[in-house]
Structure 1
Amino acid sequence: MGELERLADRMREFAQARDWERFHTPKNLAMALAGEVGELVAEFQWLTPAESSTLDEEATARVRAELGDVTAYLVRLADLLGVDLVRAAHDKLDESERRYDPGLYRGSARKAPPL
């Protein structure tokens, strides 16, 4: 069993022990995930690119906590929907490798046309 599966199991048990499963609908989890992503984004909102790459200890701790929240909600949502996150990420990377030929897109931020 991998780390994500262990985390999903732990989160499922956490919700069950508190009778929170009824609140953990896909809609609610997706909304909570979006809120936590917003909190993560807020940590970087007014920083320059250089500042965002060299966070102090306090800012790093806040970002770490927000990343933990984002991960927790994402793992819980994927578990509820039966989605293997690692497989989904590999599948998405496979698609991106097909769409973004290094010879055409190296150093470019432009978006590829849909497949």
Structure 2
Amino acid sequence: MTPIEDLAARLREFVAAREWEPFHTPKNLAMALAGETGELLAEFQWLTPEEAATVMADPAAGARVRAELGDVMTYLVRLADALGVDLVEAAHAKLDESERRYDPETYRGTARKAPPLP
């Protein structure tokens, strides 16, 4: 098993032991993921770009960021598992699409959006 598959299995067992399956619907998991992503964002909200780049150097702030990243990851893996989505495959497919949309010659050094693919 891959590390993500191992995590998904562990999360499945964790949820089953607590009989939380009825609460782990795709809608609820997506909402929980959004909430946890907001909590991660809050850790960076008022930092300068320089402070954000070194946030892990501060033990307390680093611990909070690490915990929020863990929360985001667990809800993302649970949601993908509930929907039967292979996260690594989905990420590769998205990267393939981005490579087609954002050719290096046109988009190097710019943050502008590409038009949708036909």
TM-score normalised according to structure 2 size: 0.97
Aligned to 2:76: 74
What amino acid is the match of 1:41? L
Deviation for aligned residue 1:44: 0.1
What amino acid is the match of 1:25? T
The 2-side partners of 1:108 and 1:49 are apart by 18
When the two chains are superposed, the root-mean-square deviation of aligned CA atoms in Å is 0.4
The 2-side partners of 1:99 and 1:47 are apart by 32
Matched residue count: 115
What amino acid is the match of 2:13? E
The 2-side partners of 1:25 and 1:78 are apart by 11
Aligned to 1:57: 59
Unmatched segments (≥5 aa) in structure 2: none
The 2-side partners of 1:5 and 1:23 are apart by 21
The 2-side partners of 1:14 and 1:51 are apart by 36
Aligned to 1:37: 37
> For residues 1-115 of structure 1, what are the structure 2 equivalents within 5 Å?
1-55=1-55, 56-115=58-117
TM-score normalised according to structure 1 size: 0.99
What amino acid is the match of 2:70? G
The 2-side partners of 1:71 and 1:21 are apart by 18
Deviation for aligned residue 1:60: 0.8
Deviation for aligned residue 1:58: 1.1
